Structure 1
């Protein structure tokens, strides 16, 4: 795959395809949206992060939570799946789910949201992204001002989803836990949500 932004160098993969080499100071958000990248590539601190094939658990949990959020989302908010969020000029993650303001929702060609548009970011932990999902991204989401964060993991015993809900701390530097939800996800923020997590078994 060929990079199209600027004059950044490239190197060749074993199959002969070209992948972009980052500039000395790392990529910027402008570079990120100009490059020809594989789907769901993220940019963290100026470096590109490529994702592995998605597990069935990951896909089913996203569907379950998306449907549940859409069921009760108020009119001034929108639920979006796998969309880029510009946190700053060097970091553009793609949360599994986000809830954004209706005012920020543009035309069908829209490719990104700003951090200030997002009221909830949801990450489903994958084996290749555990440290990013549990440590790196929450700190960056909090620093960018996103008020709510959910982290979803697979319970090793039941193989069902476990949802850890968080709210941004008063100092804005991290998130504080507000609950661990195994059978039922019932919360009041960022709006009233009630999802039967046991429905996972019937998907």
Structure 2
């Protein structure tokens, strides 16, 4: 019989719990208990997006873990609407990011093939040959950063933004894609697709160069 990893951790030891005051809370992060801590600290964690409104919390006197929104701490988020369902968040930007390496690989391969044809013609005609330049290396960086920023902006408007996604969206595309999938509780298809796209794009370019 395997352990259900999706279930919240067991309640803190009741002997230890008897030592806690009524305002000392435990909460769950990545399947592990944290605390005890105060409601003020919980509020700070919420403001920093380090925990969510559906984070499981518990304190002495509660029979089981409850989502923060449904506990006595619910007043901390009463004025803030919950994040919208991830089903209503478009994935257009991230799928464009995922397939971008293939597009760039094809463009570079076409430029390389054109250079090889031009070099052969120049050699046959005995005229100087000037190679065409491929895409500036800054362009893919800018496109990735822009698409990541636009998608993270969409997440923030939907109630899912965080400091981690804000930074990685612009600077670390594959990390951002995996973090995004985890945050929205989606399977990371587009993150895996980015890795495969990068490999395919490189192979396309290498096949022309070789």
TM-score normalized with structure 2 length: 0.22
- Which structure shows the higher strand fraction? 1
TM-score normalized with structure 1 length: 0.22
